[in-house]
Amino acid sequence: MARKPDFSIILNTLKRKDEQGIVPFFELFADDEIMEEVMGYKLAKVEENPDRYFDQLISFYRELGYDYVPFYQAPRFPTPDYIHGEDTATYRRESRKWMNEKGGPIKTLKDLHDADWPKPEEAVDFDLFRKLGEHLPEGMKVVGGASGGPFEHSSFLMGVENLSMAVYEDPELVNTLIEKIGNVLVGVAKIISSMDCVGAYCFGDDLGYKTSTIFSPRHLRRL
């Protein structure tokens, strides 16, 4: 039987308050197909049956000994140019999609200004975070937020190749895009962080690989 969740263990670990205590598990998230294989059942769709989905999500993380449930939503930015293909992994999704590294919907300042950008309060479905909070057992918290960071979303919307060239050839476009994305993400973070059910705000930003970042640290700091 899994131990009772206690989010304070994570906080104490981060603050180095209890170095002799439990070392908590922490993952950004687990993919749905992995959760289904471990738990032995098909996950509900959060958009169709959020109550059932959240019960299943909580069950997975609680039974594996986590003190939190990760939950992220993709912000409602303009849609990137996806490349779709067959999923050949052992545990498969219905299909696999990749980002188009060569281009995206934002190529010019006009594209940026003409795009449909959400206000922070409309960028994700905040009610889903609140509903997840209603399902949490005592001691458990939500860790999550709007998925992706400024670099990741910029590379999605421009294509990493075009973004790399635009840093030199069109810095105004890059700076404006980063600012637009950043303003939305910061606004979302403020709203989600204020919820009692949220123990920590977290997001991942794909900045590089195990050998180096895609952009130099100098460029990343400037952005």
Phi first, then psi, for residue 208 (nearest 5°) are: 175, -150
- Sheet strand arrangement including 68-73: 68-73, 141-146, 198-201
Indicate whether 42 pLDDT > 70: yes
In 10 A of CB 79, how many CB atoms?
12
Residue tagged 């860790």 (tokens): 143
Query: Could you give the angle at which helices 171-193 and 150-158 cross, rounded to 10 degrees?
Result: 130
Indicate whether 29 pLDDT > 80: yes
Assign residue 75 a region: left if phi > 0, alpha if psi is -120 to 50, beta otherwise? beta
> Yes or no: is domain 8-222 CATH 1.10.1060.10?
no
Indicate whether 2 pLDDT > 70: no
The secondary element (H helix, E strand) that includes residue 165 is helix 160-169
Residue tagged 């104490």 (tokens): 12
pTM exceeds 0.75, yes or no: yes
Average predicted confidence (pLDDT) for the chain? 92
d(CA 76, CA 115): 11
